[in-house]
Amino acid sequence: MSFLRNLFPKSNEPLVWLASFAIVTMALGLFGGNRLIAASHVLVAITLIYGGFTSSMGPPEIKRISGSLWALVALVVAMTLSVIINWSGYDSPLQDFKKIRYELVTLVLCLFFPFRSIFEKESVLVKWVWWGGFGAAALITVLGILVSKTDLEPLYHLLGAKPVMRYRVGGVSGTVMTYAYSAQFFVLALVSVLTLKFRRIEGFCLVRGSFEVILCVLILLILSAGLFWSQSRGALLGALVGLGVLVFLARLKVLYVGAVILLVSLGIYIQTNSTRLKADPFKHETVRFSQWRAASLAFLDNPLFGLGHRQFEKKSADLKEGYRLPADRIDETYFNGHAHSNYLEAFASTGLLGGLSLLAFITFWFKEAWEYFYSRVCFIPIIVAFFVSGFFENTFTDSEVLHVVLFLYFLSRVVIEYEKTARTGCFGRIC
């Protein structure tokens, strides 16, 4: 019975339980799909409403708004204005407008009690988030490998899988980019935490005992295999650059790790320049550049408010035809999709304010995480990977990847708050 009691919050306050369930559901949704993410958003809303009615939530702490949070507020404003100004150009404006809830939920998590302080009071929540998130990631990766590497047709129906690209690992859904650009962050998080463990950094006890270390290493190997077989070059590049930053921060043996990175890079190059390039129906020398050119031209035509939040993705083929750009598919038609760049997508869809707000968000997040030891080691590699891979893929309007990025941002705010208030053990105090 004591074991079961340790699996749940110690507090008897309903507000704490609601907040705990919301955060754990968010962690499971990191790789569990949109339904779990939507459920976590509903739980956050219920927690906020309950706290407001019972006066146990308290007002938002404006003084806690950091530069990155102000940038996130500005981004929400830019997205909202872009939808309102371009309302008539949408087929279903409310469908895209409601996507702004991801940023709004993050603001709620960072500003309201008990979300911002619950990890300190409920130590079990740390383990639920850690093992729940990584356990889901490992399970989805194993199933994704089975889906992509076998001909077990019944497995597709059992899992509800959609093997978009049979030769590339894309989780259960088959959405390769969504899977890979989320997996890169998990790989870096695991390497960061294991680095702190092996360096025996005092006070950091997120992973304890030989069994947990072995389990983390096993999950790391699984996720690394999934990331490699996804053949997503932008995600792989982001992970490698993030790993290089971690080497610098942790002062590891640079030459040894550099040799490993070089070998892995060569393997990735050989792998990604064989199967995937022959099978995809795109002219790989033009499709990404074509999207970048179209997004740049769209921004120049609509510099203030853009085309509307998430609109470039829907209009890119028509835009390229209108700009008389060369066809970028083998069948001489136009690829229709996002800009393959977070930054060009933001400028094209939400205008100058949206693009600058996104850049400001990343800049301030980096600056704030750099100021403290644990946040620097654990989150700077992730921020760098997000920044680098964002040049080659649109990950900030893809709902599932956006959920991962913003949840990691929330966790970084938790770590920063602990270190800022001189809790030297950071998570170590509450594990």
The whole-number average pLDDT for the span 80-101 is: 85
- Examine the pLDDT at 28 and tell me if it is beyond 80: yes
Q: What does pLDDT average to over the chain?
A: 78
What is the H or E stretch that residue 81 is in? helix 67-85
Residue 64 lies in a domain: no
Residue 321 lies in a domain: no
Q: Where are the beta strands (DSSP E) in 50-152?
A: none
Report which of 315, 280, 37, 290 is spatially closest to residue 182, judged by C-alpha positions. Answer: 37
Q: Which residue has the higher pLDDT, 62 or 152?
A: 62
Per-residue pLDDT, 170: 65
259: Cβ–Cβ under 8 A, 6 or more apart, which residues? Answer: none
Per-residue pLDDT, 72: 94
Beta bridge partners of residue 282, listed in sequence order: 329
In the Cβ-directed half-sphere of 199, how many Cα atoms lie within 13 Å?
19
Residue 228 lies in a domain: yes
Per-residue pLDDT, 321: 76
The CA distance from 3 to 229, in Å, is 39
The whole-number average pLDDT for the span 109-136 is: 76
User: What single DSSP character describes residue 166?
Assistant: T
Residue 329 lies in a domain: no
Per-residue pLDDT, 424: 45
Which residue type, as a one-letter code, is found at position 115?
A: F
Number of structural domains (the chain) is 1
Q: Is residue 181 within 8 Å of residue 196, measured between CB atoms?
A: no
The CA distance from 155 to 147, in Å, is 7
Q: Is residue 351 within 8 Å of residue 305, measured between CB atoms?
A: yes
Per-residue pLDDT, 427: 42
Residue 323 lies in a domain: no
From 162-166, 225-229, 259-263, the region with the lowest mean pLDDT: 162-166
Which residue type, as a one-letter code, is found at position 303?
A: P
> What's phi and psi for 185, nearest 5 deg?
-70, -35
From 9-18, 98-107, 377-386, the region with the lowest mean pLDDT: 9-18
SS3 170: coil
What is the H or E stretch that residue 20 is in? helix 14-32
pLDDT confidence tier of residue 426, bands split at 50, 70 and 90: very low
Report residue 205 CA to chain centroid gap. 24
The CA distance from 366 to 380, in Å, is 6
Residue 291 lies in a domain: no
Which residue type, as a one-letter code, is found at position 28?
A: L
Residue 392 lies in a domain: yes
pLDDT confidence tier of residue 123, bands split at 50, 70 and 90: low
* Domain, as residue range, for 254: 2-58+69-281+340-429
Residue 297 lies in a domain: no
